[in-house]
Amino acid sequence: MEIKYVSTTCPYCGTGCGFNLVVRDGKVFDVAHWQRAPVNGGKLCPKGRYAHEFINSPDRLTKPLIKKDGKFVEATWDEAYDLIAEKFRSYKPDEIACLSSARTSNEENYLMQKFARVALKTPHVDHCARLCHASTVAGLAAVFGSGAMTNSIKDIADSKCVFVLGSNTFEQHPLIARSIIRARESGAKVIVADPRNTPTAKQADLYMPFVSGTDVAILNGLMQEIIKNGWEDREFIAQRTKDFEKLKEVVMKDIYSLENVSKTSGIPVESLRTAAEWIAQADVAALIYSMGITQHTVGVDNVKSTANLMMLTGNLGKPGSGVNPLRGQNNVQGACDMGALPNVYSGYQKVTDEATRKKMMEMWGVDDIAEGRIGYTVTEMVNLLADKPGELKAMYVMGENPMLSDPDLHHVEEGLRNLEFLVVQDIFMTETAELADVVLPAACYAEKDGTQTNTERRVQRWKKAQDPPGEAKSDWQIICELGSRLGYEKQFAFESPEAVFEEVAAVTPSYHGISYARLDPDGLHWPCPTEEHPGTPILHREKFAMPDGLGVFSPIEWKPPAEVPDAEYPYVLTTGRTLWQWHTGTMTRRSWSLEKEAPIGWIEINSEDAKELGIKDDEVVRASTRRGSVEIPARVTPEIIRGVMFIPFHYKEHPANRLTHNALDPIAKIPEFKACAVKVEKIAEV
Ligand code: SF4
């Protein structure tokens, strides 16, 4: 019996914890702590601890499948590739779209966008960052010139005030929460604003429950209070920023007085006043946010407002400070960095810049690629499919499951069923794969080499611990073989993920200095422009990444969500996750240690609201919005603010996204998962 330990990076959240996969006779059978792992120092949350359990599930996809007469039949790789190549060749570039995946490696995301742009010549490539942090990328880039977490995870421990807004860090990024605990142990004040009294809120020195969708009003109110008291950092504002007067004009309006913000948000005036004082008076303060901020029709406005607050108080460019968006999936930062987005190539180089497009053609050795215009986002693809059938005809989906993850599932299903040809590449038969014409079996994170980039921009290694099951192949290999079938042998002639990464480093300025040899054991934070550069844990130390080096204040007016409660749908519905499950549950629901802790969905209802509705704890109720209904057990609790209901979105049996609204942020095109109007009723006894 041979036992070996392979150090790698967790496939779940964007924290990027390292652990050892324990391999016996060529099969992974456990996870063991890796004490010197750079982000987590050997500690793991339950998802990481049990990240081996789904790997050898008996229902892994092991052979290509082709649908014939409505049923999947096993096929050879050659048959599958021939069919896909023939079909893809038959469509015009504008008729095909590709979905890349934040669960796959940097190399695979890089190859997917290259495949779309080179082999299919389509500009339509995107991935699920659209559903979580597209507003971060757009919002922070507009203010700072770079759309990423400004500081490192370790840095948070040096903060003297941590303001957590729209992030349930203790459940969703538990190993980042350790930095908050460390800061608190060193005397930092912790403020948490959330509609739910989450495990994160319970750790706070000041908890501010608020009505979902009032973030800008709260942030403007805090800024008004800071300016009224003269607590702003005048030196930082004068030397590092511009447009402060424009910001002032908006935030000093009477509607953003603490009294009025209290009425809008439900937060007591005294709490708002204390929060403003703690943030402004701390030597150094950090703001942490996640999807509570981004998943709104005003997601970009929300993000810009967080940046306004931290610039106003001079909390950027130094340890313990910053605007710190916590990215959701393991490699959502990397998938964006790699250009799996419709508006940029890798390193956020704009597709609309003709000089950049020419450079990419030269680097890729082709004389034509997708036109230099912005393609469709995921959300626009789905809307187009449903609302204008025939415009998009084919899709290639890698490792995504829009049939459970996207808003308004009836609409999504209608759209996907309108496709003429759908290819899904995944490790399991997902709800989306069920609708496919061809399903390609992929290797999981433990079965391939590669890199991923965590929320703090740290690029780290994945290392292969076992072979994929049956005939499954790594995503990078599948994309390369398909690229070759379509006539681009030279462009996709990679022997290994490392060879792909060498090309990534060559074409991506912020990754120029990164190589596999430099990544062991601690990884490197981008930007890392040269081979000698040590990486950049803290951004914007001397200047912002703008042409003039200045951060830009953005005056933002508060706007309510696209759909607000009314007589028919009198409550606000918000959605999110639980500690024990991950996204659409393809991996965690096959991990028995996790599944047994949270096997079914629920709707959280405030105790007073439940009393008025005559609903008891555990009773199955009907939750309905203008999009559909779900019958779901009630969890009656005082831990959610009155008027707001919460459903986790992991469960196909109780799909929260049957209810959510696909209204989009006009810039980031992110849907409003965090606020729509809902009604909840007792189900009549029969
Ligand atoms: Fe994995 Fe995130 Fe848990 Fe770390 S905190 S073990 S990265 S799920």
Q: Is residue 686 over pLDDT 60?
A: no
Q: How far apart are CA 492 and CA 475, in angstroms?
A: 13
Atom of ligand 1 nearest to the CA of 454: 7
Distance CA 212, CA 394 (A): 37
CA of 172 to the centre of ligand 1 (A): 8
Class of domain 65-129+330-525: alpha beta
- In this prediction, residue 684 carries a pLDDT of 72
Q: How confident is the model over 469-490, as pLDDT tens digits? A: 999 999 999 999 999 999 999 9
Residue 360 and residue 351: Cα distance in Å, rounded? 10
Place of tokens 């899709």: 395
Q: 65 exposed, middle or buried (CB, 10 Å; 0-12, 13-18, 19+)? A: buried
Residue 152: the pLDDT is 96
How high is the pLDDT of residue 389?
95
Q: In what order do the strands lie in the sheet with 27-32?
A: 3-9, 18-24, 27-32
Q: Is 361 helix (H, G, I), strand (E, B) or coil?
A: helix
- What confidence score (pLDDT) does residue 1 get? 81
pLDDT at residue 641 tops 60: yes
Q: d(Cα 536, Cα 636) in Å, to the nearest integer?
A: 46
Quickly state the pLDDT bin for 367 (edges 50, 70, 90). Answer: very high
Number of DSSP helices (H) and strands (E) in the chain, helices first? 26, 30
Pairing of strands 629-637, 671-672: unpaired
**Distance between CA atoms of residues 10 and 19, nearest Å:** 7
DSSP label at 347? G
Mutational pocket test of ligand 1: of 8, 44, 181, 331, the residue with most ligand atoms within 8 Å of the beta carbon: 44
Q: For 561-604, what is the HEC assignment?
A: CCCCCCCCCCEEEEEECCCCCCCCCCCHHHCHHHHCCCCCCCEE
Instruction: Compute, in angstroms, the gap from residue 12 CA to the centroid of ligand 1.
Output: 6
How far is 632 from 655, CA to CA, in rounded Å? 9
DSSP H/E element including 49: helix 46-49
pLDDT, residue 132, reads 84
DSSP state of 12: S
Beta strands in 373-487 (DSSP E): 394-398, 421-426, 438-441, 450-453, 458-462
The answer on pLDDT for 685 being more than 70 is no
- pLDDT confidence of residue 445: 97
Instruction: Name the burial class of residue 532, with classes exposed (0-12), middle (13-18) and buried (19+) by CB atoms within 10 angstroms of its CB.
Output: exposed
Common-topology check for domains 3-49 and 134-325: no
The CATH number for 134-325, chosen from 3.30.450.20, 3.30.70.3460, 3.30.930.10, 3.40.228.10, is 3.40.228.10
Could you say which DSSP state residue 474 is in?
Answer: -
The answer to whether the complex's ipTM is over 0.85 is yes
DSSP for 414-431, written as a single string: HHHHT-SEEEEEESS--T
Per-residue pLDDT, averaged over 30-56, amounts to 97
**Separation of CA 173 and ligand 1 centre (Å):** 6
Give the number of the atom of ligand 1 that is nearest the alpha carbon of residue 13.
Answer: 2
- Residue at token pair 């649908």: 67
Q: Is the dihedral of CA 413, 101, 456, 12 positive or negative?
A: positive
**Residue 167 above 80 pLDDT?**
yes
SS3 content of the chain, % helix, strand, coil (to 5): 35, 20, 45
Residue 90 neighbours by CB distance under 10 Å: 13
CA distance 111 to 480: 8
Q: Left if phi > 0, otherwise alpha if psi is -120 to 50, otherwise beta: which for 233?
A: beta
- As for ligand 1, residues whose beta carbon falls within 6 Å of it are 10, 12-13, 15-17, 40, 44-45, 47-48, 173-175
| Residue 554: CB atoms within 10 Å | 20
CATH domain 571-682 topology: Barwin-like endoglucanases (2.40.40)
Q: pLDDT tens digits, residue range 384-424?
A: 999 999 999 999 999 999 999 999 999 999 999 999 999 99
Asked which of 119-133, 239-253, 268-282 is least confident by mean pLDDT, the reply is 119-133
Q: Could you tell me the distance, in angstroms and rounded to a whole number, from the CA of residue 287 to the centre of ligand 1?
A: 20
Q: Nearest residue CA, atom 4 of ligand 1?
A: 17
Distance 51 CA to ligand 1 centre (A): 9
Q: Best mutation site among 19, 47, 329, 454 for ligand 1, i.e. most ligand atoms within 8 A of its Cβ?
A: 47
The residue ranges of every structural domain in the chain are 3-49, 65-129+330-525, 134-325, 571-682
Cβ(641)–Cβ(195) under 8 Å?
A: yes
What's residue 7's pLDDT? Answer: 97
Give the tens place of pLDDT for each residue, 610-634: 999 999 999 999 999 999 999 999 9
Give the Cα separation of 572 and 570 in Å (integer). Answer: 7
Q: Cα(first)–Cα(last) distance of the chain, in Å? A: 59
508 three-state secondary structure: coil
Tokens of 476: 């990078």
Closest atom of ligand 1 to 47 CA is 8
Interval 456-481 mean pLDDT: 98
Tens of pLDDT, residues 314-352: 999 999 999 999 998 999 999 999 999 999 999 999 999
Say whether pTM exceeds 0.90.
Answer: yes
Residue bearing the CA closest to ligand 1, atom 3: 45
* pLDDT tens digit sequence for 533-584: 999 999 999 999 999 999 999 999 999 999 999 999 999 999 999 999 999 9
Q: What is the DSSP letter of 349?
A: E
Could you say which architecture CATH assigns to the domain 3-49?
Single Sheet (2.20)
